[in-house]
Structure 1
Amino acid sequence: MNPYNTVLLPIVSLSDIFGKDLILNPRASFSNYGWLPKNREKLDFLTGAPLTVAGDMPVICSDSVVSQEIISLLKRVNLEVAPFRHIYHSERSYQDTLDLFNGQKKQMVVNHPHPSSEINRGGYWIDPQLIGFLNNKANLEKLVPIGHTPRRVVIHPNEISKTVDQLKKLPVVIKVASDEPNGGGYDVVICKSKKDVSYAYNYFNTCSTVVVEEYIEIEQSYNIQFAKTIKGDIIYLGTSEQIATADGIYIGNWFERDHEPPEKLMKVGLAIMEYACSLGFIGIGGFDIVISNDNRQFVIDLNFRLNGSTAPLLLKESIFSAYNASILLFQNWDSHLKWDDFFAVCQQAVEELNFIPLAFNNPLSNSNPDTACYVSGVIFGSSKEEILEKEECLNVCMTNVM
């Protein structure tokens, strides 16, 4: 536990960035709109982490992330939880919440744009067409300084096979090019074989366009985040090293104390942010910038919204200071243990494994008994080796009752 009972506060809160009058909506539409996880419980779970960095900004969240025992444990590890919460209990009550704000002409910071039937144009703080443009992978070269994007071509899905044949080289990366919401790697297929190319076509054939992109052998992968505040300032929020599966699915981040990426990457990230802001963007931007194994630098993805790692990024300095830690691992865990057993594992991990939970999903609020339990959090320590040992222990505990 925190030896000094120091409250873990973000370097800047969401209310510092957006003010107190706007409402944060981190939930994607229930209508399976866009290229995001189709698991409803996972999308509900993602409404939890922003609560720990919101400050006084009101937040829409699922009842599954704010049960009394969850809030008690978050407060026990000295996190501040957003006091202004608009809690939904079902798809219907979520839409009722949106309808209420539409009727009151309240504006929302919407992480993932919704169909126009669910949120009207006046309900968005930032024009959803601008958000769609900035996050559309077809527009990467329009937003990134020249020379910092992989070789790529934007085509119709029907041209995938022909285009890959013309390249005469695998692997390649195929990505959705759409203004619809996307993220987490669910809009990307890494093709290492002809079978993968066929899969990509079947997966993306409902899109109007896709990107076929050069595959980069990545040496280091950074997520660099900036924010433009409601007061007009562009501020640097921080950087993490990204962790992804071999298939490109995002799974977590490393945060190292007093460690920053090369200055030239920071300059590229700032140039992207400044250009987006010149188009009217205000908010958080997170940019995936990689160094290849032959020392080239590329921007491979832009995320103009709260990123999966935004909450731990904003909290990392408080955690480093409170625990005299030098490195953090942020990750999501899921388990099919019963909720009481799962929650007990998390409580014990707080005591024994240097674990700080940031968000939970309690499946008892859901009528599906097979719903997994979720938790996101950080493990802190003095070395990656120490943390990975604790992570392995936690992984074992997540599959077996302690």
Structure 2
Amino acid sequence: MTALPKLSPPVEPARLWPENAAFMARTDLERLRLLGVGPANLDSITLHLLGVLGTRPTVRHRSGVTDEILTFLQDAGLMIAEDIRIYDSAEEAEAIADSLAAEGRPLFWPYPLRRGRFHESAHLVRTGLWGRLNSKAGLAGIAPARALAPRRIVPTATLGARLDHPVVVKAGGEEATGWGGTVRFCDTLERLLEVKAEFLSREISTCVVEQELPVERCWCANLAISEAGVVYLGAAEQMFSAPGCQSGSIIDPNTPLPPEGVDLAIEIGEAARAMGFIGVAGLDIGRIADGRLIVFDPNFRFNACTQQILLHHAATKRAGLTVSRSVVADVPLSVRSLIKRLQSAVEDGWFVPTRIVDRSILSNEKGKSILNGFVLGADRLDAEKNARLLDLLIS
């Protein structure tokens, strides 16, 4: 494939995380128990953010950084200049992290590393602070009251006494959550009791119960937080398949996060900065029917839409298009076959791949792959059409 012009993020990698920091995301299932993931996810999580981390060291599983995959992603325009440290086992990943920490490189990650394995001084963000900032119950400590839905924090065991209106129930502790894994919409008392039983079985002892609000649009606003201040990176509008169940993200210049939403995100980012947080964060902010902006969830880590946000401007400018729409798919094709089928879409400019994982290496599933990226379009309908076209190409 002919190499395409490079996709340069609008923010230098050093503005996202400190220059001396190293990306190490390999954790264990105990840390991710509320996300509902399996063993293969522990390694696939390490393969995000290719093309936006500059030259810093990264610890990545072999399944997503083979020569074949890296060549294709670079030809597609990703600027991959990292010092990639490849591992095959969890022990190898942690040994590499040990050496990076010994060099004085703080480790950053989306979810805390194995409990007790590394000294707290090895982390860019202390695990206790990470837990407090990402706790849905703790949101009121960093977000202004005007921007919160009516909510109460209760022991899970007390749920179900009555239900006067639809609510959204969320895990309220400091364990890692995400992907809607512990967010449940309840519009009947029977449903609320089902969620109570489920959460108790998963040892979720505290819940946030929020009044369901008429949300017109919801965005994930991304920030880069450093000792020098807070930089707004952009926002992706969230797409939902059901209440509280996100199915993807879209960036459309005709439906941006309103300026007051940007100000709100920065205000919360400043509160987190004052507590000592450094790195990239995302905040789920919705506009409800009366025009108010409400913060629903804190995500003090990189988000599923972070790479899309950082590459959107360069990709749309390169293609002469305006809208981007995320893609994530389990593909019944080998990496070689997948790349072959993607070449025309990439060369024509309407698809940008951001992650390809060889399942035969990741989990011994031969002839299968994982694909992340985003399609582009002249408008939302055109992007949706291209998403369907891509689905046909890789099916």
C-alpha displacement at 1:37, in angstroms? 3.9
Q: One-letter code of the match for 1:16?
A: R
**Are residues 199 and 360 of structure 1, via their aligned partners in 2, closer, same or farther at CA, if it must alter by over 3 Å?**
farther
> For each residue in 1:130-157, what CA deviation from the matched residue of structure 2 results, as whole angstroms up to 9, or x when unmatched?
1110100001112111211111111111
Matched, 1:213 2:210: yes
Answer yes or no: is the 8 Å Cα contact 2:333–2:367 preserved in 1.
Answer: no
SS in 1 for 2:242: coil
C-alpha displacement at 1:59, in angstroms? 1.6
Q: Where does the alignment leave 5 or more consecutive residues of structure 2 unmatched?
A: none
Q: One-letter code of the match for 1:129?
A: G
> For each residue in 1:291-328, what CA deviation from the matched residue of structure 2 results, as whole angstroms up to 9, or x when unmatched?
12343321101111111111111111211221121111
- Give the 5 Å matches for 1:2-401: 5-101=4-100, 106-162=105-161, 165=162, 167-170=163-166, 172-205=167-200, 206-229=203-226, 232-257=228-253, 260-351=256-347, 354-369=350-365, 373-399=369-395
> For each residue in 1:27-82, what CA deviation from the matched residue of structure 2 results, as whole angstroms up to 9, or x when unmatched?
44344534224133344333323121001222221111111111011111121114
C-alpha displacement at 1:104, in angstroms? 5.3
Q: Which moved more, 1:101-110 or 1:265-274?
A: 101-110
> For each residue in 1:249-286, what CA deviation from the matched residue of structure 2 results, as whole angstroms up to 9, or x when unmatched?
33321112476322221221111011111111111121
SS in 1 for 2:70: helix
SS in 1 for 2:197: helix
**CA distance in structure 2 between the aligned counterparts of 1:342 and 1:289, rounded to whole angstroms:** 35
**CA distance in structure 2 between the aligned counterparts of 1:99 and 1:87, rounded to whole angstroms:** 14
**Are residues 252 and 334 of structure 1, via their aligned partners in 2, closer, same or farther at CA, if it must alter by over 3 Å?**
same
**CA distance in structure 2 between the aligned counterparts of 1:203 and 1:97, rounded to whole angstroms:** 38
Q: Which moved more, 1:31-40 or 1:48-57?
A: 31-40
Q: One-letter code of the match for 2:175?
A: E
**CA distance in structure 2 between the aligned counterparts of 1:249 and 1:43, rounded to whole angstroms:** 22
**CA distance in structure 1 between the aligned counterparts of 2:334 and 2:194, rounded to whole angstroms:** 35
**CA distance in structure 2 between the aligned counterparts of 1:341 and 1:160, rounded to whole angstroms:** 50
SS in 2 for 1:78: coil
| Root mean square deviation, CA, Å | 2.4
> For each residue in 1:157-198, what CA deviation from the matched residue of structure 2 results, as whole angstroms up to 9, or x when unmatched?
111112xx1x3223x211111211111211211223445323
**CA distance in structure 1 between the aligned counterparts of 2:373 and 2:363, rounded to whole angstroms:** 25
**CA distance in structure 1 between the aligned counterparts of 2:110 and 2:9, rounded to whole angstroms:** 19
Q: One-letter code of the match for 2:146?
A: G
SS in 2 for 1:147: helix
> For each residue in 1:67-98, what CA deviation from the matched residue of structure 2 results, as whole angstroms up to 9, or x when unmatched?
11110111111211142112221233223333
SS in 1 for 2:46: coil
> For each residue in 1:313-365, what CA deviation from the matched residue of structure 2 results, as whole angstroms up to 9, or x when unmatched?
11112112211211111221222334443333333432457111011111121
**CA distance in structure 1 between the aligned counterparts of 2:270 and 2:204, rounded to whole angstroms:** 30
Q: One-letter code of the match for 1:204?
A: F
SS in 2 for 1:273: helix
**CA distance in structure 2 between the aligned counterparts of 1:229 and 1:61, rounded to whole angstroms:** 25
C-alpha displacement at 1:6, in angstroms? 2.5
Q: Which moved more, 1:15-24 or 1:36-45?
A: 36-45
**Are residues 297 and 233 of structure 1, via their aligned partners in 2, closer, same or farther at CA, if it must alter by over 3 Å?**
closer
Say how many residue pairs are matched: 393
Under a length normalisation based on structure 1, what TM-score does the superposition of the two structures give? 0.90
Q: One-letter code of the match for 2:14?
A: S
SS in 2 for 1:306: coil
Answer yes or no: is the 8 Å Cα contact 2:308–2:374 preserved in 1.
Answer: yes
**CA distance in structure 2 between the aligned counterparts of 1:176 and 1:282, rounded to whole angstroms:** 24
SS in 2 for 1:9: coil
